[in-house]
């Protein structure tokens, strides 16, 4: 796959200071800890570190540094087993929007309990074909078919693979 | 109607495990479950297999009698029995349609239909079993003519949808084909002449009170004068036609929107099936199964302005499965027996039963 430089001069943001997660309460070590926004954010970024340096060799920045994903754009309702991630492509015509969204979905499917319902969307107004991208990302039949495509799956796995160094 | 005042409950009869991935679809064999023939259905899955389940005479429970594997190389998306129940058609993301014959309890793949460019998503036999329709991601609908010796000749490739076609379904009595799509539309196809001149005779789209997002499935009532469709727009829609006119004009009479069932579903509705006695079942991405019946109450403030029938929720089964419900199908034999298939990899058999007084 040959990709031109989609956004030659992206704005790079500082990584946010992490909150320190509270130590598990001693009172009940078996208590179920609800999943919250920060945990989803960590799943999407910290745990994998480099979900989005893929195919942007010119821009070895994480989705966080490009502000493609922010913690504010993650909604979680653990009680209802629901997560919605809203991401912001760096440019309106980002041709990678669907693949970024697919990676986010796959990462969440692989990380969260199966009871979770996941919606992925691009931020309102952030993409030229917003409705089409959102529709495709949330059609599970298309997602299932895409993940049976070996080259697409390789690309997703490459994106999600931990990077070192 | 008898359902309106009665209270019902959904009893889980059996949970069937065996598939190792999501179960996409299932189909009851129409020639079983009556006259002492044990009921049989097929299920298909992301695990690339089809399973045949048969009810045991002695225990009454369903057991897996056969696993059809090593034919499809990708997800098997849906399956359909011929009207005689002798043949099973299965379609796959591997772009093929397979025809299986039951030979003394063993299922043999007797034909493989190729032609679609990529994922095939749905298959349907017409009422006489002489025609087969398939559809898929290549935006086309194919009509195949069944010929002697397990030969299938493609007699039409129908183009009209602008996006992938999610489901095809023949009318229960007439050779008129219905398709629904990711393009939000339902299209009706009929043979205009004697030489397989299939054309789109009507499009039910959003300006005609149609759906505003992907239409996943459709089902007919028993007489064939009404159709229900379900969608990602979280509604069910009821459509009707004049059956007498349809029969006299050799197939086509216009269909019109009668009613929209909105406000009940929270996530995409993947499956809808109308029972012979008039109960609409729906399966959705919120893990629930719902049942609707036509309500004769037209005195209500909000319903009096609508000339179409109104429908009320008979029952909602929350958490029917642990994950999305992909398919709900009423049994052709026993009354009020329903099978459901889910992303959780299981199939459940349910009985919709009156609550004892």
Q: Are A101 and A89 in contact (CB under 8 A)?
A: no
Q: Please judge whether A115 and B213 are an interchain contact, meaning their C-beta atoms are less than 8 angstroms apart.
A: no
Q: How many CA atoms lie within 13 A of B21 on its CB side?
A: 15
Which stretches of chain B score pLDDT less than 50? 1, 303-305
DSSP state of A16: P
pLDDT at residue A67, as a whole number:
79
> What is the distance, to the nearest Å, from the Cα of residue A85 to the centroid of all Cα atoms in its chain?
7
Q: Please judge whether B182 and A139 are an interchain contact, meaning their C-beta atoms are less than 8 angstroms apart.
A: yes
Complete domains list, chain B, with CATH: 8-354 (2.130.10.10)
Taking each helix axis from N to C end, the angle separating A150-160 and A140-147, rounded to the nearest 10 degrees, works out to 90
Residues 130-149 of B with CB under 8 A from A: 137
* ipTM reported for the complex, 2 dp: 0.92
pLDDT at residue A52, as a whole number:
47
pLDDT at residue A117, as a whole number:
97
Does residue A14 sit within a domain? no
Does residue A130 sit within a domain? yes
Q: Which chain A residues touch B286 with a CB distance below 8 Å? A: 117
Does residue A21 sit within a domain? no
Q: Please judge whether A144 and B75 are an interchain contact, meaning their C-beta atoms are less than 8 angstroms apart.
A: yes
Q: What predicted TM-score, i.e. pTM, was given to this entire model?
A: 0.91
pLDDT in tens, A120-133: 999 999 899 999 99
Q: Is the pLDDT of residue A53 over 50?
A: no
Sign (positive or negative) of CA dihedral B160, B123, B313, B238? positive
The H or E element that residue A132 is part of is: helix A130-137
The H or E element that residue B281 is part of is: strand B280-284
CA distances from B42 to B71, B127, B134, B200, B340 (A): 15, 19, 18, 31, 12
pLDDT at residue B355, as a whole number:
87
Q: Are B34 and B55 in contact (CB under 8 A)?
A: no
In whole angstroms, what is the distance from residue A146 CA to residue A153 CA?
Answer: 7
> What is the distance, to the nearest Å, from the Cα of residue B73 to the centroid of all Cα atoms in its chain?
23
Residues 144-163 of A with CB under 8 A from B: 144-145, 148
Backbone angles phi, psi at A99, to 5 degrees: -75, -35
> What is the distance, to the nearest Å, from the Cα of residue B164 to the centroid of all Cα atoms in its chain?
17
**Other Cβ atoms within 10 Å of B279 Cβ, number:** 22
DSSP, collapsed to helix, strand or coil, labels residue A8 as coil
Sign (positive or negative) of CA dihedral B300, B303, B305, B310? negative
Q: Are A12 and A61 in contact (CB under 8 A)?
A: yes
The contacts of residue B282 (CB under 8 Å, 6+ apart) are B230, B236, B265, B269, B271, B272, B289, B290, B291, B292, B328
Q: Which chain A residues touch B342 with a CB distance below 8 Å? A: none
Interface with B, mutate which of A82, A114, A135, A139 (most B CBs under 10 A): A139
Sign (positive or negative) of CA dihedral A140, A141, A143, A144? positive
Please give the residue of chain A at the shortest CA–CA distance from B285: A117
Residue A156: band (very low, low, confident or very high) from pLDDT cuts 50, 70, 90 = confident
In chain A, the number of structural domains is 1
Residue A65: band (very low, low, confident or very high) from pLDDT cuts 50, 70, 90 = confident
B250: alpha, beta or left, given left = phi > 0 and alpha = psi -120 to 50?
A: left
Q: Is the pLDDT of residue A149 over 50?
A: yes
Q: Are B78 and B47 in contact (CB under 8 A)?
A: no
Does residue A138 sit within a domain? yes
Does residue A53 sit within a domain? yes
Q: Report the CATH number that the domain containing residue A113 is assigned in CATH.
A: 3.30.300.130
In whole angstroms, what is the distance from residue B20 CA to residue B22 CA?
Answer: 7
pLDDT at residue A55, as a whole number:
44
Does residue A90 sit within a domain? yes
Q: Is the pLDDT of residue A17 over 90?
A: no
Q: Which chain A residues touch B214 with a CB distance below 8 Å? A: 135, 139
Please give the residue of chain B at the shortest CA–CA distance from A145: B93
Does residue A118 sit within a domain? yes
pLDDT at residue B62, as a whole number:
96
Structure tokens at B134: 């398939």
In whole angstroms, what is the distance from residue B3 CA to residue A157 CA?
Answer: 51
Does residue A123 sit within a domain? yes
Per DSSP bridges, beta strands B40-45 and B23-28 are: antiparallel
**Which residue among B93, B214, B344 places its CB closest to the CB of A139?**
B214
| Angstroms from B357 CA to nearest CA on chain A | 34
Range of the domain at A86: 37-160
Q: Are B258 and B309 in contact (CB under 8 A)?
A: yes
In whole angstroms, what is the distance from residue B180 CA to residue B182 CA?
Answer: 7
**Which residue among B137, B213, B214 places its CB closest to the CB of A145?**
B137
Q: Exposure string (b/e) for B95-134, b if CB count within 10 Å is 16 or more? A: bbbbbbebeeeebebebebebbeebbbbbbbbeeeebbbb
């Amino acid at each position: 796959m040959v990709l031109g430089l989609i956004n030659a001069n992206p704005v790079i943001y500082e990584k946010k200071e992490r909150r320190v997660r509270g130590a598990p309460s001693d009172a009940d070590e078996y208590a179920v800890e609800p999943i919250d926004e920060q945990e989803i954010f960590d799943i999407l970024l910290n745990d994998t570190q480099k979900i989005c340096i893929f195919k942007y060799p010119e821009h070895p920045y994480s989705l966080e540094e490009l502000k493609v994903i922010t913690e504010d754009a993650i909604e979680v309702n653990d009680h209802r087993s629901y997560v919605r991630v809203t991401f912001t492509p760096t440019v309106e015509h980002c041709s990678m929007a669907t693949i970024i969204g697919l990676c986010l979905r796959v990462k969440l499917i692989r990380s969260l309990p199966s009871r979770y319902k996941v919606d992925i969307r691009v931020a309102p107004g952030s993409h030229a074909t917003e409705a089409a991208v959102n529709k495709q990302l949330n059609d599970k039949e298309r997602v299932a078919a895409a993940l049976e495509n070996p080259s697409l799956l390789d690309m997703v796995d490459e994106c999600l693979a931990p990077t070192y160094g | 109607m008898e359902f309106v005042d009665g209270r019902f409950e959904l009893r889980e009869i059996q949970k069937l495990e065996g598939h190792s991935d999501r179960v996409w679809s299932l189909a009851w064999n129409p020639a079983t479950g009556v006259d002492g023939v044990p009921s049989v259905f097929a299920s298909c899955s992301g695990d690339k297999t089809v399973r045949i389940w048969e009810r045991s005479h002695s225990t009454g429970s369903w057991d897996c009698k056969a696993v059809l594997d090593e034919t499809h190389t990708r997800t098997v998306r849906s399956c359909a029995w011929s009207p005689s129940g002798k043949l099973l058609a299965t379609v796959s993301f591997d772009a093929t349609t397979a025809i299986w014959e039951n030979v003394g309890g063993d299922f043999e793949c007797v034909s493989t239909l190729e032609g679609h460019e990529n994922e095939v998503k749905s298959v349907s036999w017409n009422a006489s079993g002489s025609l087969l329709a398939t559809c898929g991601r290549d935006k086309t609908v194919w009509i195949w003519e069944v010929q002697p010796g397990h030969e299938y000749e493609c007699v039409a490739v129908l183009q009209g949808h602008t996006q992938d076609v999610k489901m095809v379904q023949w009318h229960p009595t007439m050779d008129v084909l219905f398709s629904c799509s990711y393009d939000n539309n339902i299209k009706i196809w009929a043979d205009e002449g004697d030489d397989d001149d299939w054309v789109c005779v009507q499009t039910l789209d959003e300006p005609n009170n149609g759906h505003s997002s992907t239409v996943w499935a459709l089902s007919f009532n028993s007489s064939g004068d009404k159709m229900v469709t379900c969608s990602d727009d979280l509604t069910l829609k009821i459509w009707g036609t004049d059956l007498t006119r349809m029969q006299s004009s050799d197939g086509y009479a216009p269909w019109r929107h009668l009613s929209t069932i909105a406000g009940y579903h929270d996530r995409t509705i993947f499956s809808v099936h109308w029972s012979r006695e008039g109960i609409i079942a729906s399966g959705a991405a919120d893990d629930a199964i719902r049942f609707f019946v036509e309500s004769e109450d037209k005195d209500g403030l909000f319903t009096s302005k609508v000339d179409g029938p109104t429908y009320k929720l008979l029952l909602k089964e929350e958490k029917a499965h642990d994950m999305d419900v992909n398919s709900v199908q009423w049994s052709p034999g026993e009354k009020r027996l329903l099978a459901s298939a889910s992303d959780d990899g299981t199939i459940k058999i349910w009985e919709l039963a009156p609550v004892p007084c």
